[in-house]
Structure 1
Amino acid sequence: MATVLNVTEAAVAAQPNMGGAQFASHTWLEPIIVVTIMITSLTLNRRHNFRILDSNRGRSATRSLLPHDSQASSPDGSIDSDSHLSGDSDVLTSTKYPPKKRNCCGMVLRTPNSSRFADHVHSRILAKFPFLIEMFYWVLNLLFYTLTKAIAQSFFTNYDGLRELAQDHGVLILDIEHKSWLSFLFPIEERDFQAWFLNGHLTAITFLNRIYSLVHIPGTVAFLSWYYYAAPSHSTFAVVRRTMTLGNFAAFAIFTVFPTMPPRLLPKKFGFHDTVRQANAESVWVGGNYVNQLAAMPSLHFTYAFVIGCTFLYHSGLFRRTRNEPRKSIFTQTAFLVVGILYPLLVLTVIVATANHYWLDAVVAMITTSLSLLGNKVWMFLLPAEDILCWVLRVDKPAPTTGDRLLRQQGARYQPVKDEEDP
């Protein structure tokens, strides 16, 4: 009995106090937070002065953007809103709804013009709540992320072999950071960084543990929802969204070919502790079958945070003259500057102190994000596929409401940037 007690005491002594773990309520509270943010965004970004069920059909928010001469008239001069029911054989030759011309891989493709479906109920719902399109894009991102785990496993013999390779990659990253000629770039080891919080700063590590998941999905959704509302134009918003999406896919590719075990899963001899998931108190975003636990390199947490920080710095107006955007007060400029710098630093602190990522994960995330910004228009090749999908679903893609707020506030003085029609 004494021997058993001594072993137990030694185990307890070897396990430091890691502060408070995530609340068990994170499992159900965080999805509620995300849904609440989305519903709020749908409401704030709705199209004003537009009714889904309107007796004056034929003048939807989307159709009104088309040239008037593209709407064919009947012999008596009235708009023939049902002429498209005569058949779809004129989809690429119609003069009333001329086909769209899309540039794809150096070729010009003619795709169906789904504006003829603008008066369908589901089209009018989208026209009233255009933010639904952004939610659809997010769902596609999540579906592709869930595939990375299955694809990575299919590349290797078995799950045990995948874990062993991921562990070797994690150790390799530590060696590159602290045992190679690049060690001068990483003067503080991740283990020592975490130890500082565990030794006398338990309130801080408790705070970091409990916001670890909140700064990822809920925080990113909140940012995109706000930016869709606050951006000066939809084209400006789309650059950020496309950059974030391309950064996602760059990370997904690396997850597949270079699976990496996070520090918290390395053998105990490396000195890391899983402070977030104590007693299995993990959130829905960091656990579950759809989460790829061997995807430390690069950090998606920092990918999102870096995009968000750069966006705030860009709109602070302190480093450039903002074009087609109202000038901000000094207080607002300073607030944007502070958020742009501190938010990425907060996320970096969170992911390293909780042993979920290495320093190099954030460095690679900055590189992939910067490259994604330069090549974000690669997503434009999906426009033909989106046109065909809209045609199959008999739905008209709505005009976004981004920039409408400034237009209402400043009236004729505000000239929004012409938006690109992007996926």
Structure 2
Amino acid sequence: MDVSRVTALRHSRFPWILGQAGLVALGVFVYFRIRGLTDAARATAEQHSRDIVDFEKATGLHFEAAFQKPVESSEAVEAVVNWVYIWGHWPVIIVTMVWLAWRHRPEFLRLRDGMLISGALGMLVFVTYPVAPPRLANLGLVDTVTESSRAYRWLQPPAFVNQYAAMPSLHAGWDLLVGIAIYTAATSLALKIVGCVMPVLMAGSVIATANHYVVDVIAGIAIVLVGHAAALALERRRERRGREPS
């Protein structure tokens, strides 16, 4: 491919990428505004939190204290889980989406659709079933992120955040979608490993930092898998339309 053709191809990408960036930014804005404006009554959220704890105890899933124990005994472990929780979410999502939009358009569209669909489903749960996270539920767990770092408040300003939106964990769920996209698009073993390891680290970190219950993580994964399945269906629809004679 000659230099002029490469240059033309790159220039043709910019309008499409800018359009996609606007669409994603609008989706994120709506997500945070609804998430922030549906801050429910504390008593309701705390009751739902107690219900979740009772359910976890009945099903053998009440592991929040066990996840946080290594964090309490090691500043290094606490720093790692805080770092994963803060910098392993939005920064990773943004970098991955830019990379996919530039180099791997099908994977970008699949990730975009999966996030928008699962985000919409998540907002329905935030509105109808507010849940206080473990750090606010009087379980003796420590909010390690707020106590040890101000960076998270820069990434997610309090005005946009509903502190009773623990269910589902889209921190864990969206990192799974990003991990799938990275693994699918990657051509190197190192990137494929990142795609596999990152969602696991985030799932552990959201529990260890007392921001989510185990059940929240399971619900987040279930919702994003529904979103991913819908995104695959949309992808197949686009492919069929592309094959149709004009």
TM bucket, shorter chain: 0.7 to 0.9
> In structure 1, which of residues 376, 379, 383 is the aligned counterpart of residue 231 of structure 2?
376
> In structure 2, which of residues 106, 111, 126 is the aligned counterpart of residue 235 of structure 1?
106
Q: Percent identity?
A: 23
Deviation at 1:194, TM superposition (A): 0.3
| Alpha-carbon distance in structure 2 between the residues aligned to 1:347 and 1:362 | 10
Deviation at 1:367, TM superposition (A): 1.0
Which position in structure 2 is the counterpart of 1:224? Answer: 97
**1:29-79 CA distances to partner (integer Å, 9 max, x unpaired)?**
xxxxxxxxxxxxxxxxxx833798xxxxxxxx5xxxxxxxxxxxxxxxxxx
> In structure 2, which of residues 116, 120, 133 is the aligned counterpart of residue 249 of structure 1?
120
Deviation at 1:351, TM superposition (A): 0.8
C-alpha contact (below 8 Å) 2:176/2:221 kept by paired residues: yes
Which position in structure 2 is the counterpart of 1:335? Answer: 190
Alignment of 1:183-202 (within 5 A): 183=60, 186=61, 189-199=63-73, 201-202=74-75
Shift in CA distance, 296/379, structure 1 to aligned 2, threshold 3 Å: farther
Alignment of 1:176-325 (within 5 A): 176-178=55-57, 180=58, 182-183=59-60, 186=61, 189-199=63-73, 201-231=74-104, 234-267=105-138, 270-278=139-147, 281=150, 282-315=152-185
Alignment of 1:11-410 (within 5 A): 48-49=7-8, 128-145=14-31, 146-150=33-37, 152-153=38-39, 162-178=41-57, 180=58, 182-183=59-60, 186=61, 189-199=63-73, 201-231=74-104, 234-267=105-138, 270-278=139-147, 281=150, 282-315=152-185, 328=187, 332=188, 334-376=189-231
**1:229-284 CA distances to partner (integer Å, 9 max, x unpaired)?**
232xx3342122101111111111111101111111112xx111111112783422
Shift in CA distance, 128/308, structure 1 to aligned 2, threshold 3 Å: closer
| Alpha-carbon distance in structure 2 between the residues aligned to 1:356 and 1:237 | 28
C-alpha contact (below 8 Å) 1:244/1:303 kept by paired residues: no
C-alpha contact (below 8 Å) 2:168/2:219 kept by paired residues: yes
Q: With structure 2 as the length reference, what TM-score do the two structures score?
A: 0.83
| Higher mean displacement: 279-288 or 135-144 | 279-288
| Alpha-carbon distance in structure 1 between the residues aligned to 2:19 and 2:241 | 16
Number of aligned residue pairs: give it.
232
**1:274-298 CA distances to partner (integer Å, 9 max, x unpaired)?**
1111278342234421111111111
| Alpha-carbon distance in structure 2 between the residues aligned to 1:202 and 1:351 | 17
| Alpha-carbon distance in structure 1 between the residues aligned to 2:35 and 2:107 | 29
**SS at 1:273's partner residue?**
coil
| Alpha-carbon distance in structure 1 between the residues aligned to 2:10 and 2:128 | 49
Which position in structure 1 is the counterpart of 2:3? Answer: none
Q: With structure 1 as the length reference, what TM-score do the two structures score?
A: 0.50
Deviation at 1:377, TM superposition (A): 7.1
| Alpha-carbon distance in structure 1 between the residues aligned to 2:96 and 2:87 | 12
- Write 1 or 2 for the structure with the bigger share of helix: 2
| Alpha-carbon distance in structure 2 between the residues aligned to 1:212 and 1:342 | 14
Deviation at 1:418, TM superposition (A): 9.1
C-alpha contact (below 8 Å) 1:285/1:291 kept by paired residues: no
Shift in CA distance, 360/170, structure 1 to aligned 2, threshold 3 Å: same
| Alpha-carbon distance in structure 2 between the residues aligned to 1:347 and 1:168 | 26
Deviation at 1:345, TM superposition (A): 1.0
**1:145-188 CA distances to partner (integer Å, 9 max, x unpaired)?**
212332x35xxxxx5xx11111111121121112x2x22xx3x6
Deviation at 1:419, TM superposition (A): 8.8
Deviation at 1:357, TM superposition (A): 0.7
| Alpha-carbon distance in structure 2 between the residues aligned to 1:138 and 1:284 | 20
| Alpha-carbon distance in structure 1 between the residues aligned to 2:160 and 2:180 | 29
Q: Aligned-residue CA RMSD in angstroms?
A: 2.8
**1:98-129 CA distances to partner (integer Å, 9 max, x unpaired)?**
xxxxxxxxxxxxxxxxxxxxxxxxxxxxx644
Q: Which runs of 5+ in 2 are unaligned?
A: 1-5
Which position in structure 2 is the counterpart of 1:41? Answer: none
Q: Which runs of 5+ in 1 are unaligned?
A: 1-46, 53-60, 62-126, 154-158, 317-327, 381-416
